[in-house]
Amino acid sequence: MEDHKGKPSLPTTTCTETLTKRKAPTPWTKPPPGWTKVNSDSSFLRDDGTGGLGIIARDCEGVVIFADSLKLHGCEDAKEAEAKAALQVVTRMGIQGHEKIILEVDCDVVATSLDATTEDISKLWSTHEEARRIMRNFNDQRIVLIRRERVIL
């Protein structure tokens, strides 16, 4: 079974079983020369509709260009927090003048919507469309869906 981000549910196991069944983590990889890789993740609090965003951007040598965290307001659910997070990321990358970006996200809905060439009919259409509009200003961009629990730095 998968959650809203497409992540598999955690199995019910003992600590010993978890240690023996865990897959090897996938290490973070540098972007190609001339590219900036941005990893972002968001959180969501149903009680008050707020969320949080963490961003880290690195160059082709793996050097941190910037890292930041922001509070997100007016989120209806976790998907909206992820969509708003992606919009914040591409907005910031555009303002800073980055031309080639790789955006790694862990929400399949956001990855699919940002990479789509057809109109999004979800309630998040305007957020996704604004992010796509900004992304058209980059020379090149890639949206990569990753499984966050397997990434190590």
Give the burial class of 34: count Cβ atoms within 10 A of its Cβ; 0-12 exposed, 13-18 middle, 19 or more buried.
Answer: exposed
Please report the domains of the chain, with CATH numbers, ordered by start residue.
15-152 (3.30.420.10)
CA distances from 51 to 41, 62, 76, 149 (A): 10, 28, 10, 19
How much is the pLDDT for 33?
96
Q: What confidence tier does 4 reach under pLDDT thresholds 50, 70, 90?
A: low
Residue 75: pLDDT above 80?
Answer: yes
Give the burial class of 60: count Cβ atoms within 10 A of its Cβ; 0-12 exposed, 13-18 middle, 19 or more buried.
Answer: middle
Residues 6+ apart with CB under 8 A from 31: 37, 58, 59, 60, 102
Tens digit of pLDDT for each residue in 40-68?
A: 888 888 889 888 889 899 999 999 998 98
